[in-house]
Structure 1
């Protein structure tokens, strides 16, 4: 097969492979690198030995991600302050179709944080099963494990995730209303309006990665979050401009200082209002969104 034909064939698989790698790694940049490495292996492989290119590529990307996850876990243990995934604009289909609440929840910032609790292999099993509807037999073939072992790993992953932070089935319209209310309060500097939409047990996470000023620990409770926004954060009513966008399958906000993107804010919502705010302010983690918007 010619180089051009190989590249063209690979491009038909790239979106799905990127979606797999991103869910595995929580990093758009590392996901792109994994997909590119898979292309190099694909272009140099004996094509006569590849019966099913889609399965071969999925296995290759999964294994590349497993290798990356081992080193990533060590880096994240040394990470300055809370670690959050790199946000991705999903209204353009970058992570594939997100047609159900379950599909959207699976790529949410909150879920990607929870997935950090899993071992690399547990994460691979869970992502392949939940996001790509692989059978346990297909997962076993992808990971070179027994089918029984894959079932056990999947059950263990479910148990670990169930023990994580509670997530609520909040209607999409209600989420949009809460984010719109936050946007209005942010533009007006209206802390009283913000207080009305924050749940009493709301938590604020800031991911600056040591690159910019950010809270080094989660800020818990409505009063503390309000004090932080009022006095300790430049990202609220400080001459910034805010725009609404869909990040990781959910309504979110982007904050700009002049023309520079400085923050991406995701929201967790519950029956009592906004229960969590996840602000990615590490400029390195905003590069992918910048390129999407450009």
Structure 2
């Protein structure tokens, strides 16, 4: 086996972890894959024999690439921040495949990704690498261009913002599904009162439908049970063709028309109520997802 093949094999051993890092940093599966590919290109141009800890080296390289991507994204962002919908990881209700298990380890739900999106890029990097992947601050500091002490402060500031920013979700998928089934049944029947009853009074719905004609963003945010219930009634005709799936390890829905995915909806349940809905209906972003054969 040639040296290049050996190096490729060593890289593949770390790909799952690197993709998980990049997904938490970017909230985008396609951008995460781009960041991992960039790390491979950097490795292929490097004398790997001089790298003592290849996994750590690759993690910080991916972190640096993601940091640059976040800073570029921030400078050109046009859509409202509170309407951000991360790329969902969708799998059949019965199982999550091994690759997705790596990607979703430590319960990286959509709610957490939304909160991470509110952080400053350097804060996000320090928090993700240290708190989620146990990278030492001494290794993170050169990436963000700060001292170790200042990097520790970045992570601490991010941690305070993350803690309590998202509701503690129900972990039992069976109980999640009971709440979602009640929501879908009320939607199909056009029962406004039943919809309100299953929604938390302070529910937030975030939806990304893609750009409108002229390039304007079609993202929107709705707050409050009544507003969200009225929105749910307008999509009642799609409820019959909806398929319950797992979205980032929690229950969700894929709505289809003639077998074609129209949207993916992530659902966060807490205390027996739906507290957040995340709807991705952007055709371009949906096309990049590997929805495959999800089954029932």
TM-score (norm 1): 0.85
Q: Which residue of 2 aligns with 1:260?
A: 260
Q: Distance in 2 between matches of 1:80 and 1:138?
A: 30
Q: Distance in 2 between matches of 1:292 and 1:146?
A: 46
Instruction: Compute the displacement of 1:97 (Å).
Output: 4.2
Q: Deviations over 1:85-107 (max 9, x none)?
A: 1111362243544898xx21xx2
Q: Does 2:227 match 1:224? A: yes
Q: Which residue of 1 aligns with 2:55?
A: 54
Per mean C-alpha deviation after superposition, the further-off stretch among 136-145 and 70-79 is 136-145
Q: Distance in 2 between matches of 1:226 and 1:209?
A: 22
Task: Figure out how many residues of one structure are paired with residues of the other and give that number.
Answer: 286
Whether the 8 Å contact between 2:81 and 2:118 is mirrored in structure 1 is no
CA RMSD, Structure 1 to Structure 2 (Å): 2.9
Q: Does 2:7 match 1:6? A: yes
Q: Distance in 2 between matches of 1:55 and 1:145?
A: 18
Mark the runs of 5 or more structure 2 residues left unpaired by the alignment. none
TM-score (norm 2): 0.84
Whether the 8 Å contact between 2:242 and 2:253 is mirrored in structure 1 is yes
Q: Distance in 2 between matches of 1:20 and 1:223?
A: 37
Q: Distance in 2 between matches of 1:230 and 1:64?
A: 43
Classify 1:288/1:93 alpha carbon distance in 2 versus 1 (closer, same or farther; 3 Å).
farther
Whether the 8 Å contact between 2:212 and 2:218 is mirrored in structure 1 is no
Task: Provide the secondary structure at the position in 2 that maps to 1:62.
Answer: helix
Task: Provide the secondary structure at the position in 2 that maps to 1:261.
Answer: strand
Instruction: Compute the displacement of 1:152 (Å).
Output: 0.7
Q: Deviations over 1:232-254 (max 9, x none)?
A: xxx43237621122222211111
Classify 1:126/1:239 alpha carbon distance in 2 versus 1 (closer, same or farther; 3 Å).
closer
Mark the runs of 5 or more structure 1 residues left unpaired by the alignment. none
Q: Does 2:44 match 1:16? A: no
Q: Which residue of 1 aligns with 2:211?
A: 210
Classify 1:239/1:214 alpha carbon distance in 2 versus 1 (closer, same or farther; 3 Å).
farther
Instruction: Compute the displacement of 1:28 (Å).
Output: 0.6
Task: Provide the secondary structure at the position in 2 that maps to 1:290.
Answer: coil
